[in-house]
Amino acid sequence: MSARTNKPHEVVERALELSRADGCVVIADEQSTANLRWAGNALTTNGVTRGRTLTVIATVDGRAGTASGVVSRAAVTADELEPLVRAAEAAARGAGPAEDAQPLVTGVAESPDFTDAPAETSSAVFADFAPALGESFARARAGGRELYGFANHELVSSYLGTSTGLRLRHDQPNGTLELNAKSPDRKRSAWAGRSTRDFKDVDPASLDAELAVRLGWAERRVELPAGRYETLLPPTAVADLLIYQMWSAAARDAAEGRTVFSKPGGGTRLGEKLTELPLTLRSDPNEPGLESAPFVLTHSSGDTASVFDNGLPLAATDWVREGELAHLSTTRHSAGLTGLPVAPTIDNLILDGGADRSLEEMVASTERGLLLTCLWYIREVDPATLLLTGLTRDGVYLVENGQVTGEVNNFRFNESPVDLLGRAVEAGRTEKTLPREWSDWFTRAAMPALRIPDFNMSSVSQGV
Amino acid sequence: MPHEVDQSFLALPLRALADAALARARALGAAHADFRFERVRSAAWRLRDAKPAGSSDTTDLGYAVRVVHGGTWGFASGVDLTMDAAAKVAGQAVAMAKLSAQVIKAAGSDERVELADEPVHAEKTWISSYDIDPFSVPDEEKSGLLADWSSRLLAADGVNHVDASLLTVHENKFYADTAGTVTTQQRVRLHPQLTAVAVDESSGEFDSMRTIAPPVGRGWEYLMGTGWDWESELGRIPELLAEKMRAPSVEAGVYDLVVDPSNLWLTIHESIGHATELDRALGYEAAYAGTSFATFDQLGKLRYGSELMNVTGDRTAEHGLATIGYDDEGVAGQSWDLVKDGTLVGYQLDRRIAKLTGFERSNGCAYADSPGHVPVQRMANVSLQPDPAGMSTEDLIGSVDRGIYVVGDRSWSIDMQRYNFQFTGQRFFRIENGRITGQLRDVAYQATTTDFWGSMAAVGGPGTYVLGGAFNCGKAQPGQVAAVSHGCPSALFKGVNILNTTQEAGR
């Protein structure tokens, strides 16, 4: 809608009033972003954006079942509202019965701020950060370092209304900072990342100082061949691997025999011990510092989401409990198909249950091993084992007798996160971390470092 | 069939908003300003075992203003279709440029943004080549066709599940800048895909076989058989899948590979396409996608591969996914050499990078995937040229004593400087004494880019050439996706390292 017309909650109400379908779900998303990007100690691009999208999900009952039609449009004006609702209804009539059809959700209390104006971010979020970043550039230049990176802040206010009376609202702030330091010849590289809700808790100067130490570690270079090495995976790397595992944990696929969580002979591996360590992999929309939408908010149906579930309250869910596979993700429909409890995906992921040792303490107790910084270009090689390939990046360090003694070349790895959990011999203290590979889609994670006795470095990468 | 730009797009207040934004940017002292209005409609259908499993129809609409002000970039975007709002967005772009200037000042830098010259293209219209706009086809027809194809596959022995999907995009873009270029464009693209899955419940083994039909810059006619033989491909899949389930696991080692265009396009994309983006080579993607081994000082010197290797960047190929009339900086589409006779001779450029590195002109590689994103240097259709006198795929296979014929893409990964890569595929056929003797399973090939292209011993003829590609090439921060095509013939590579993926998994 234009500024002259209605507020988001009013748009939702109006769309619901216009609906002639048997059921209707309306989601209004108001999005604002601000970002800064830099390379070689200089800003390259920047931007502030405003976006507004209205999604109408119409459901139409028929003799063969209920169909759904989903139509989303940006920047809908008042005149375009009715055509959008009609388009969703036409899409439903043309789609045929939806396999995931369920009664629309009812009985969830209205969000108290449903009628409030959307939250917004702007370049003001960088008011303190931007000058500090500029000073870091100057300090890095003087110290013989080049800084590369990206700072992004986003606020999405989502308003969900349904013909069954739900009126829910969620504001999701999402901030990320990635800082990469390189030597001027670009033969040494180090990285650090942070997730933040408001940029008040990130300090580019301290991150730059941390990276300067790492570039110092890299002044001694050690070439190692491919092979299996005792490896310390830092929290960001653990997050990237376990997020992929989470994305591969659809209950229906497992029950159909086509994932790593399928049991030979039929059924799923639920109840199976995945690791001897007392680790719990869980999601909780109310996790402090990692808060995410406390109800299902989905714009399309898929293997782990159903538009019919919109508004369904989300509860804390253990995916792996004390080392044992406890839940696979389900919609109400796939829960019915598989006979498993309803367990929708939640937009954060936490692994805890390890010891209280920091990564530094784990390094100190390492006789000889590799300390990774992060992983990159992770892709699935074999769904049967959930074998993933990818690369180490921005610093692989050799640890000898409890000390970092130099930097090692990068490697390509071939590993399965499920197998890694089974082979991990130590987990450290859980800490909030930014998953580097998946931070475009998933930023809210808390993980421990893991010690893997025999991580498969499949080949050497010349890349730095 | 010739088309016109959608009247519903032209009816939007494109010029009025552009005039308001550009005038405001000028008044605020911008040395350059460009205005881009985009409407991108994307629709997707998913079927699971021939039943609807989710669909969406999303239209992104809005506009962006980019300025060069005080020697720095500023960018902002908005969605309110009033002249006041457009002028306000231009003001926000200038404000962002001023914020950048503060950071640059604090850093003690003297870097300034300058753009390479480009002729003014006034009042130009360009429309991609297609017959039937997929959005003119009723949804029932689309989902009905996918359901029919799925059902045919499901009815075959050994097929337990079928996943089907169709992505369609209709993209309109209006561009105007302070130099006087004004372009209006329209593109259509689509990507159908079907995957058959076999499950041996007793052993727990499963595998899949996917169509290798590429995504294309065509219309609905593609699904009716123009440009691809769907009947033939769908007819073969159950048999291929059944054979794959019975196939022996590959013995890891060194093999000669005949790589089909359905697989080689992706290797080209990762090891040549991204590696010859000059912004990457200069470090502008260093913190995210990475840099490139093909650094600027090696232009004209780097031995990229064998002398048989000729690679072009092309914005003009008919039905190409990265084919355009004018890019998002008002630069006309072009075709040029990237690798000539095995040597690096060119890069992909935008106007800023062109000016920075001494090129007279950008080759038209600036693109934004939505009105909310800034144009970034983006891949053209990067294609390996066939040998005019080259062999057929059958003859390439016939020239191999012990090797593997690789068909279809699946898994892909390459390091941040584009050296070390690993790819899998859909179908791996064992070659013995010049003949195919059945499929293999658990195959991945792993190499270093220049070693791999240096091992190219034969390039197939024009009859083997296929334009492959993808809808989902990711780059930049904030992340953007772009569609891009890669044409290539079949080609023979000598002595490539093959991994057994079950052994890699420690099994």
Helices B230-246 & B139-154 angle (0-180, nearest 10): 40
CA distance A207 to B446: 35
Q: Which residues of B222-249 are buried (b: 16+ CB within 10 A; e: fewer)?
A: bbeeeebebeeebeebbebbbebbebee
CA distance A82 to A69: 15
Query: Are the Cβ atoms of A3 and B290 closer than 8 angstroms?
Result: no
Does B122 contact chain A (CB < 8 Å)? no
Question: Which among B39, B40, B103, B100 has a CA at the least distance from the CA of B70?
Answer: B100
Query: Are the Cβ atoms of A460 and B79 closer than 8 angstroms?
Result: no
Does B316 contact chain A (CB < 8 Å)? no
pLDDT tens column, A177-216: 999 999 999 999 999 999 998 899 999 999 999 999 999 9
Query: Are the Cβ atoms of B287 and A180 closer than 8 angstroms?
Result: yes
Query: Are the Cβ atoms of A51 and B100 closer than 8 angstroms?
Result: no
User: pLDDT of chain B along its 507 residues, tens only?
Assistant: 579 999 999 999 999 999 999 999 999 999 999 999 999 999 999 999 999 999 999 999 999 999 999 999 999 999 999 999 999 999 999 999 998 898 888 888 888 999 999 999 999 999 999 999 999 999 999 999 999 999 999 999 999 999 999 999 999 999 999 999 999 999 999 999 999 999 998 899 999 999 999 999 999 999 999 999 999 999 999 999 999 999 999 999 999 999 999 999 999 999 999 999 999 999 999 999 999 999 999 999 999 999 999 999 999 999 999 999 999 999 999 999 999 999 999 999 999 999 999 999 999 999 999 999 999 999 999 999 999 999 999 999 999 999 999 999 999 999 999 999 999 999 999 999 999 999 999 999 999 999 999 999 999 999 999 999 999 999 999 999 999 999 999 999 999 999 999 999 988
What pLDDT, on the 0 to 100 scale, is given for residue B259?
A: 98
Q: Which residues contact B316 (CB under 8 A, 6 or more apart)?
A: B323, B333, B334, B335
CA distance A328 to A342: 9
What pLDDT, on the 0 to 100 scale, is given for residue A298?
A: 98
Quote the minimal CA–CA distance from A356 to chain B in Å. 30
What pLDDT, on the 0 to 100 scale, is given for residue A3?
A: 41
Do the Cβ atoms of A33 and A175 come closer than 8 Å? no
DSSP letter (8 states) at residue B80: -
Does B286 contact chain A (CB < 8 Å)? yes
CA distance B112 to A206: 28
Do the Cβ atoms of B417 and A464 come closer than 8 Å? yes
Does B106 contact chain A (CB < 8 Å)? yes
Q: Which residue of A has its CA nearest to B477?
A: A150
Residue corresponding to tokens 């998933």 = A442
Pick the more confident residue, B226 or A77: B226
What is the Cα A268 distance to its own chain's centre?
25
DSSP letter (8 states) at residue B289: T
Does A244 contact chain B (CB < 8 Å)? no
Q: Which residue of B has its CA nearest to A138?
A: B107
Do the Cβ atoms of A428 and A399 come closer than 8 Å? no
Q: Which residues of A122-157 are buried (b: 16+ CB within 10 A; e: fewer)?
A: bbebbeebbbbbbbbbebbbeeebbbbbbbbbbbbb
Of A33, A51, A152, Cβ closest to residue B79:
A51
Phi, psi of A200 (to 5 degrees): -85, -15
Q: Which residues on chain B are in Cβ contact (under 8 Å) with A123?
A: 92, 95-96, 99
B224 three-class SS: helix
pLDDT tens column, A276-322: 999 999 999 999 999 999 999 999 999 999 999 999 999 999 999 99
What is the Cα B176 distance to its own chain's centre?
25
What pLDDT, on the 0 to 100 scale, is given for residue B1?
A: 54
Residues in chain A, total: 464
Residue corresponding to tokens 């989401």 = A305
Does B110 contact chain A (CB < 8 Å)? no
Beta carbons within 10 angstroms of residue A273's beta carbon: 12
Does A379 contact chain B (CB < 8 Å)? yes
Of all residues in chain A, what percent carry a pLDDT higher than 70? 99
CA distance B414 to B477: 19
CA distance A208 to A372: 18
Q: Which residues on chain B are in Cβ contact (under 8 Å) with A379?
A: 411-413
Do the Cβ atoms of B287 and A178 come closer than 8 Å? yes
What pLDDT, on the 0 to 100 scale, is given for residue B483?
A: 98
Does B253 contact chain A (CB < 8 Å)? no
CA distance A125 to A175: 10
B57 three-class SS: strand
What pLDDT, on the 0 to 100 scale, is given for residue A2?
A: 42
Q: Which residues on chain B are in Cβ contact (under 8 Å) with A46?
A: 73-75, 96-97, 99-100
CA distance B436 to A224: 38
Do the Cβ atoms of B375 and B66 come closer than 8 Å? yes
Quote the minimal CA–CA distance from B213 to chain A in Å. 21
What 3 state SS string does chain A have?
CCCCCCCHHHHHHHHHHHCCCCEEEEEEEEEEEEEEEEECCEEEEEEEEEEEEEEEEEEEEECCEEEEEEEEEECCCHHHHHHHHHHHHHHHHHHCCCCCCCCCCCCCCCCCCCCCCCCCCCHHHHCCHHHHHHHHHHHHHHCCCEEEEEEEEEEEEEEEEECCCCEEEEEEEEEEEEEEEECCCCCCEEEEEEEECCCCCCCHHHHHHHHHHHHHHCCCEECCCCEEEEEEECHHHHHHHHHHHHHCCEHHHHHCCCCCCECCCCCECCCCECCCCCCEEEECCCCCCCCCCCECCCCCCECCECHHHCCCECCCEEEEECCEECCCECCHHHHHHHCCCCCCCCCCEEEECCCCCCHHHHHHCCCEEEEEEEEEEEEEEECCCCEEEEEEEEEEEEEECCEEEEEECEEEEEECHHHHHHHCCEECCCEEECCCCCCCCCCCEEECCEEEEEEEEEEEECCC
CA distance B415 to A391: 6
Residue A4 has pLDDT above 80, yes or no: no
Does A234 contact chain B (CB < 8 Å)? no
Residue A1 has pLDDT above 60, yes or no: no
Quote the minimal CA–CA distance from B82 to chain A in Å. 8
Do the Cβ atoms of A348 and A287 come closer than 8 Å? yes
CA distance B212 to B193: 8
Q: Which residues contact A52 (CB under 8 A, 6 or more apart)?
A: A1, A28, A29, A30, A31, A74, A75, A76, B79
pLDDT tens column, A375-393: 999 999 999 999 999 999 9
Query: Are the Cβ atoms of B411 and A381 closer than 8 angstroms?
Result: yes
Of A302, A378, A462, Cβ closest to residue B419:
A462
Q: CA distances (Å), B473 to each of B30, B232, B379, B479, in order?
A: 32, 29, 9, 10
* Amino acid letter, A447: M
B274 three-class SS: coil
Query: Are the Cβ atoms of A463 and B418 closer than 8 angstroms?
Result: yes
What pLDDT, on the 0 to 100 scale, is given for residue B98?
A: 93
Q: Which residues on chain A are in Cβ contact (under 8 Å) with B56?
A: 70-72, 299-300
Average pLDDT, chain A: 96
Does B193 contact chain A (CB < 8 Å)? no
Does B414 contact chain A (CB < 8 Å)? yes
Query: Are the Cβ atoms of B74 and A49 closer than 8 angstroms?
Result: no
CA distance A217 to A370: 13
Q: Which residues on chain B are in Cβ contact (under 8 Å) with A182?
A: 286
Q: Which residues contact A63 (CB under 8 A, 6 or more apart)?
A: none
Question: Which among B490, B493, B483, B426 has a CA at the least distance from the CA of B273?
Answer: B483
B72: phi > 0 → left, psi -120 to 50 → alpha, else beta; which? Answer: beta
Do the Cβ atoms of A131 and B103 come closer than 8 Å? yes
Tell me whether strands A403-408 and A410-415 are parallel, antiparallel or unpaired.
unpaired
